Amino acid sequence: MSHTTRTGEIHVPILARVEGEGALDIRIAAGRIEALKLRIFEPPRLFEKLLEGRSTQDVIDSVARICGICPVAYQMSAVAAIESILGVTPSPWVEAMRRVMYCGEWLQSHSLHIHLLAAPDFLGYDSAPAMAKDHPDEVRRGLRLQGLGNEIIRTFGGRSVHPVGLCPGGFFHAPDAATMQRLREQLAKGLEEARELIAWTAGLPIPEDDQDFVSVSLRHPRDYPITAGRIVSDQGLDIDPADFEQRFREFQVPHSTALHAQLDGHPYLVGPLARLNNNLDRLPADLRQLLDDCGVAFPSRNMFHSIVARAVEIHVALAEALRLTEDYEPAAEPRVEVPTRAGVGFGCTEAPRGILWHRYALDDEARVVEAQIVPPTSQNQARMEEDLVTSLTRFGLERDDDALRLHGEMVIRNYDPCISCATHFLDFHVVRK
């Protein structure tokens, strides 16, 4: 069947090796993709509505339940928004240790995705266990780095999944010096493995697939962005997180229970590749040199270079955690008292999968009147569909259905979508007679 005459439909009923449940439908007519839908059909989780009437501490503990992979990101965006309303400025110790805790989440999330979800695609395996038979050392490395990330989160949050250590004004508990020294010894070992990981990902047989897209991320005046910054793009956007709604628009499409998002009417990319594209000059000089030596040029227009960007950010996370805990001493008071106050506040941080924006309105008792959460996976949905059309067409629509299905899944997995995070909104209308 020729490329120009093929007609038919391809359905991928369940996407494998992604967090959550989704599907992909493609209709091809006269050799071109006529329609493509990334269907997200998980039931809406209605988290924003569930937060109404809750106290600020309830918010921080509840939003951690949105995701088992990136609970810290939800807590950090929430606490930033809440503290902006309450007029609280965290101490330098709190700001530094929150960044360390966030590094733990980047480390565990990126390690999981690289070794267990994405790498099997590039090496021709259908699963991580199958890959482990030929690459046991690499899979073990991934599990070690993921475990180290979990240990960082547990140190500050009491547990690695849905941590409970964070509060408005700081932390409930400051880790002791001996605990932190043991953690630093593991971090130093992990940093050596991160250098090897960058070279390994750069050496994978990554497809050539340059595309045009807009990279959106935070940008900090000094550091690689994690917990704070302005929202920027590689097309000149530069706004305060409070102005997010002036340029970004969320909307619902019939085939998804998660909202789509556009920047000035167009799809855009968030996540590790967008962050690295926009913040290459925020990398330490030695890491920049290591990346140059690997032969992968950034900024990159190839979405598949996301796996290299994740490896670079694992190095960033480990180096930052070591830097910020050097000469560590536990704070005598790991939190400050917070007032009760009404107002509206915004928080935006860099979750492993991209910017995570929160908005809260509180009443006079600091209870939630209104909440809005825009997760990175919903922001990337329109870009994923755009990418799938381009990438599958370039791959060759004349190929058989199994080949197209596998390539489509590879494109989607490359974004590391967290579908369960994205499905917490329902545009509900009722007509009563």
Binding region for Ni(2+)? 67, 70, 418
The answer to whether 152 and 104 have CB atoms below 8 angstroms apart is yes
Token pair recorded at residue 295? 């032969």
Omega of the bond prior to 299 within 30 degrees of 0, cis? yes
- Tally of CA atoms within 13 A in the half-sphere of 199 that contains its CB: 7
The answer to whether 220 and 355 have CB atoms below 8 angstroms apart is no
The answer to whether 413 and 19 have CB atoms below 8 angstroms apart is no
CA atoms of 271 and 379, how far apart (whole Å): 10
Q: What are phi and psi of 372, to 5 degrees?
A: -140, 130
Binding residues for Mg(2+): 48, 373, 424
CA atoms of 132 and 151, how far apart (whole Å): 24
Tokens 């809750």, residue?
54
CA angle (77 as vertex; 45, 308 as ends), nearest 5: 95
The answer to whether 379 and 261 have CB atoms below 8 angstroms apart is yes
Binding residues for Fe cation: 70, 421
The answer to whether 66 and 374 have CB atoms below 8 angstroms apart is no
N-to-C CA span, the chain: 54
Binding residues: 48, 67, 70, 373, 418, 421, 424
Q: DSSP readout, 60-72?
A: HHHHGGG-SSSHH
